[in-house]
Amino acid sequence: MKRHLISAGDLTRADALLILDTAEELASLADRPIKKLPTLRGRTVVNLFFEDSTRTRISFEAAAKRLSADVINFSAKGSSVAKGESLKDTALTLEAMGADAVVIRHGASGAPHRLAGWVQGSVVNAGDGTHEHPTQALLDAFTIRRRLKRGSTRGAGLDGIRVTIVGDVLHSRVARSNVLLLSTLGAQVTLAGPPTLLPLAVENWPCAVSYDLDSELPKSDVVMMLRVQQERMTAAYFPSVREYSRRYGLDAARMGRLPDHAIVMHPGPMNRGVEIAADVADSARSTIVEQVANGVTTRMAVLYLLLGGTEFPAVAQ
Amino acid sequence: MSAACQPGPTRLSAPGPWLIKGVTVAGSGGQRDESTDILLSDGAIAAIGSGLSGVGAQVLDAQGLIALPGLVDLHTHLREPGREDAETVETGTRAAALGGYTAVHAMANTDPVADTAGVVEQVWRLGRAAGHCDVQPVGAVTIGLAGSRLAELGTMADSAARVRVFSDDGRCVADPLLMRRALEYVKAFDGVIAQHAQEPRLTEGAQLNEGEMSGRLGLAGWPAVAEEAIIARDCLLAAHVGSALHVCHVSTAGSAEIIRWAKSKGWPVTAEVTPHHLLLTDELAEGYDPVFKVNPPLRTAADVAELRLALADGTIDCVATDHAPHPVEAKETEWSEAAFGMTGLETALRVVQLAMVDTGMLDWHGVADRMSVRPARIGRLAGHGALLALGGPANLTLYDPAAPAEAVQPGASKSRNTPFAGMELPGRVVATFLRGTPTVLEGKLA
């Protein structure tokens, strides 16, 4: 594995499986009365959040703390960043404080790449603009594997699993990371959405593309709904929220077209009634709450492997 | 146009004669590709031929060098007044001289904008005072580059700066009626409108060529059609009103095709391409280093190939640098926060050698035409762009195409945002003469 986790595309199949298997190991901790491991004692993890994202931040914070790392939360609001400090100066400040890992959420695509050039520690991308969100993809892969692969999952990929990702792919960092990671793990990914919300050269991505959600559902083992932002409507990506919902929203009737074993995922936060109906979000097929729990264990695995997992020889570098 | 009627730089006294021995003159008709001697005296080429002896002249051994007419840049951002932290007329013209240029057109997007006679005359005077090359100001088309009201184009034309090229570069004159009026209006004084072709609605927030890379990197796309649609519209407008359109920094294969079509109709359209669009592609954005962020953006390898062909066949008239210096902090940031633009004066000729000459697409005569003759003609610039000939102005560049490829180093520009940093480029500008006076000797400022 590389020193940083910036793109899901940086992970080989072996890297990805190592993370998932490690997460599986760590998940067993969650059932113990004492959830904490001493592994990262004395190491410092900085959560550098330039965008509000309480759920991702607390997920990383919980992950680091369960590994006994010291956690510093650096939020852009009310800090020097709000006074116009550059990303580089912020990076140098963190560097001077001795951050072993920096978890960065930023509104600009590529900000983690830039940060990695300015700090010595590991950089973990917690979502950059409309680019990637690799730990989301890892937790999604972990969730899919747990739900759909019976028996021992250790070492298992997602070979043959059909995943349909639905909605605003153009602006989605979750979609980009999932296409890369899930295809690396052997899944067959299909993107479904209105043509306006699919990137121009999407046909060159390692996935299929469809404008017709209904025809994809019966062929899907997993359907992953993306959050659609209402402001897209004013930029003419679609005529109205109602029409979007009618064509690409997952309601109970559409869910009925899925095979019996299929699961419904959403990275959150959801727009209930827009891309996903409340009945679907709260159904037994929904993995949405499970995804949150799996987020902590998957992020523990990432920090563990990047920062000091000596038990796993593959990450010696 | 005789050299004598050109105003010389104020700080230089009359140059002594120079004898350039054994040089190969590019584009001199019968003498082409044969080594010859050139005697420079009183700002003009006093003699040209073999075995010249100049009594009292300083001698420059130019064996193996190519003599080009002094290069002319139609598209330079000197940043003064207003952004002297990025570049000044002094530092920018030093960079120009080192790149082999004897004249540059200074773009209007300064602060204040060059939209009045006062500002263009200021820039013109700063250029004369610097003396490294001639500085011909470009006037803004609209007041404050705001795209709503015409600037006083006639007053700028009549000023001491004698402005003939007008451009809102950095912004597109997007309003079709305003563009039509600007084209019509400048006919009265043989002006030309140099358009930065960028349909604004199609490029809101645009960061990178729209295509595979923008989709993968999650950067808002700058589609080729946003450039091509404006070029097509403007070609039709130029034909309709019978006035001269110049298209700045053509970057797509489709743009070249539209211009080729417009020229085939005999319409008064000219175009330029930058060195970086002749060599670099959007794949360089992979690491999100904003040194590769430029407007129009780097395109694909297929676009680069078509732009080279279009420059070779004359569809694209000239190479223009779009030298756009920025301070370090404007580039040492997130991609979407970073400024658009690259420096280019000091590397242009070397890039053209690599992209066009070493590939066999253009000979040195062609280089002289695309980097001196045609840009001077488009800029209506007297005293520049004449192929080297007896009695002509002593504006010339001596270039060593056989100099071993060397990594590009920081140069005389105040800014360091060159996309070619560390890249090995062939060739070396050895000397530049402006009206008989060396501005560069031995590759260093004279």
Domains of chain A as residue ranges with CATH: 8-133+292-315 (3.40.50.1370), 134-288 (3.40.50.1370)
Task: Indicate which of A200, A203, A205, A231 best probes the interface with B, i.e. most B CBs within 10 Å of its own CB.
Answer: A200
d(Cα B68, Cα B375) in Å, to the nearest integer? Answer: 14
pLDDT at A79 over 70: no
Rounded Cα distance between B192 and B242, Å, is 11
Report pLDDT for A311.
Answer: 43
Check if A4 is active-site.
Answer: no
Rounded mean pLDDT of B293-301?
A: 98
* pTM score: 0.93
Chain B residue with the nearest C-alpha to that of A129: B218
Over residues A80-135, the pLDDT tens digits come to: 666 678 999 999 998 898 899 999 999 999 999 999 999 999 999 999 999 999 99
Q: At B132, list the tokens.
A: 């490294």
Residue B216, token pair as written in the block: 């993968």
Rounded to a whole number, what is the largest CA-CA distance in chain A?
56
Which ranges in chain B are annotated with CATH 2.30.40.10? Answer: 3-67+391-445
Whether residue B72 is predicted with pLDDT greater than 90 in this model: the reply is: yes
Query: Would you say B185 and B162 are in contact if contact means Cβ atoms under 8 Å apart?
Result: no
Q: What is the pLDDT of residues B312-371, one digit of tens each?
A: 999 999 999 999 999 999 999 999 999 999 999 999 999 999 999 999 999 999 999 999
Q: Find out whether the peptide bond into A38 is cis, omega within 30 degrees of 0.
A: no
Residue A44 pLDDT exceeds 90: yes
Picking from A108, A128, A176, the nearest residue to B337 by CB comes out as A108
**What share of chain A in percent tops pLDDT 90?**
80
Residue type, A183: S
Residue of B nearest to A133 (CA): B218
Asked if B218's CB is within 8 angstroms of A128's CB, the reply is yes
Q: In the CATH hierarchy, which fold is given to the domain comprising B3-67+391-445? A: Urease, subunit C; domain 1 (2.30.40)
pLDDT at A229: 82
Per residue in B194-230, pLDDT (tens digit) is 999 999 999 999 999 999 999 999 999 999 999 999 9
- The CA radius of gyration of chain B, in Å to the nearest whole number, is 21
Query: What is the pLDDT at residue B13?
Result: 53
Q: Which of A4, A92, A106, A109 to mutate to test the interface with B (most CBs of B within 10 A)?
A: A109
| Mean pLDDT over the full length of chain A | 92
What average pLDDT does this structure show over B278-294? 98
Interface test with A, best of B203, B217, B331 (most A CBs within 10 A): B217
What stretch(es) of chain B map to CATH 3.20.20.140?
A: 71-378
User: Residue B276: pLDDT above 90?
Assistant: yes
Using the Cβ of A132 and the Cβ atoms of chain B, whether some distance falls under 8 Å is answered with yes
Q: Is A28's pLDDT higher than 50? A: yes
Give the pLDDT confidence score for residue B399 in this predicted structure.
Answer: 98
Q: What is the pLDDT of residue A81?
A: 61
Residue of B nearest to A206 (CA): B216
Rounded Cα distance, B289 and B280, in Å: 14
Return phi, psi of residue A61, to 5°: -65, -45
Neighbours of B21 (CB within 10 A): 20
Nearest to A87 among B214, B220, B333 (CB): B333
* DSSP 8-state assignment for residue A278: H
Distance CA A88, CA A114 (A): 8
Residue-level pLDDT at A1: 67
CA distances from B131 to B28, B137, B272, B343 (A): 27, 15, 26, 20
Q: Is B234 a residue of the active site? A: no
Q: Name the average pLDDT for chain B.
A: 95
β-bridge pairing B101-106 and B71-76:
parallel
Identity at B274, one-letter amino acid code: T
CA distance A130 to chain B (A): 5
Interface test with chain B among A113, A118, A172, by most B beta carbons within 10 Å: A113
Whether residue B334 and residue A87 make contact (CB cut-off 8 A), yes or no, is: yes
Is the model's pLDDT at B9 over the cut of 60? no
- In this prediction, residue B55 carries a pLDDT of 84
pLDDT > 90? residue B114:
yes
Strands in A188-192's sheet, in edge-to-edge order, are A208-210, A188-192, A162-166, A222-225, A263-265
Measure the CA–CA gap between B278 and B302, rounded to whole angstroms.
Answer: 11
* Residues above pLDDT 70, as percent of chain B: 95
Per-residue pLDDT at A286 exceeds 80: yes
The CATH fold assigned to B71-378 is: TIM Barrel (3.20.20)
Cβ distance B77 to B323 under 8 Å?
yes
Q: Is the pLDDT of residue B5 over 90?
A: no
Of A86, A110, A114, which is closest to B217 when you measure between CB atoms? Answer: A110
**Shortest CB distance from B288 goes to which of A86, A113, A201?**
A113
Those residues whose C-beta lies under 8 Å from the C-beta of residue A84, and which sit 6 or more positions away, are none
- Dihedral of CA B44/B49/B55/B59: which sign? positive
Annotated catalytic residue, options A54, A83, A150, A234: A83
Q: What is the pLDDT of residue B65?
A: 97
CA dist., res. B418 & res. B5, Å (int): 36
Give how far A33 is from chain B: nearest CA, Å.
42
Sheet of B71-76, strands arranged across:
B71-76, B101-106, B134-137
User: Distance (Å, rounded) from C-alpha A277 to C-alpha B40?
Assistant: 83
CA distance A175 to A127: 11
Q: How far apart are CA A183 and CA A205, in angstroms?
A: 10
The C-alpha atoms of residue B7 and residue B14 are separated, in whole angstroms, by 12
Q: pLDDT > 90: what percent of chain B?
A: 93
Evaluate if residue B10 carries a pLDDT over 80: no
Question: What average pLDDT does this structure show over B270-278?
Answer: 98
Closest CA to A174 of A229, A124, A212, A132: A132
pLDDT band at B90 (very low <50, low <70, confident <90, very high): very high
Contact A129 B336 (CB under 8 A): yes
Write down the pLDDT at residue B33: 58
Residue-level pLDDT at B3: 40
Query: 3-state DSSP call for residue B437?
Result: strand
**Residue B330 to chain A, least CA–CA distance (Å):** 10
The residues that bridge with B398 in the sheet, in sequence order, are B67, B431
Out of B134, B234, B317, B322, which one is annotated catalytic?
A: B322
Check CB contact under 8 Å for B223 and A200: yes
Sign of CA dihedral B150, B153, B154, B160: positive
Tokens 């979502």, residue located = A127
Residue ranges in chain A assigned as alpha helix (H):
13-27, 54-66, 87-96, 111-116, 134-148, 173-184, 213-216, 231-234, 241-248, 252-255, 278-281, 288-307
Can you give the three-state secondary structure of B220-279, one letter per residue? Answer: CEECHHHHHHHHHHHHHHHHHHCCEEEECCCCCHHHHHHHHHHHHCCCCEEEEECHHHHH
- pLDDT value of residue B1: 38
- The H-or-E segment that residue A99 falls in is none
Query: Are B215 and A205 a contacting pair at CB < 8 A?
Result: yes
Q: Which residue of A has its CA nearest to B218?
A: A131
| Minimal Cβ distance to A109: which of B289, B333, B336 | B336
A101 in Cβ contact with A122 (< 8 Å)? yes
Residues in B whose CB is inside 8 Å of some CB of A read 210-212, 214-221, 223, 287-289, 329, 332-337
Which one of B211, B220, B335 has the shortest CB-CB distance to A110? B335
Q: What is the pLDDT of residue B34?
A: 78
On the question of pLDDT at B283 being above 70, the answer is yes
pLDDT band at B6 (very low <50, low <70, confident <90, very high): very low
Residue A78, pLDDT score: 55
| Catalytic residue flag (residue A131) | no
Answer for the pair B75, B247: CB distance below 8 angstroms, yes or no: no
Q: What is the pLDDT of residue A177?
A: 98
Query: CB under 8 Å to B190, separation ≥6 — which residues?
Result: B164, B380
DSSP per residue, B383-416: TSSPPS-TTSB--EEEEETTSPPEEB---SSS--
* pLDDT of res. B140: 98
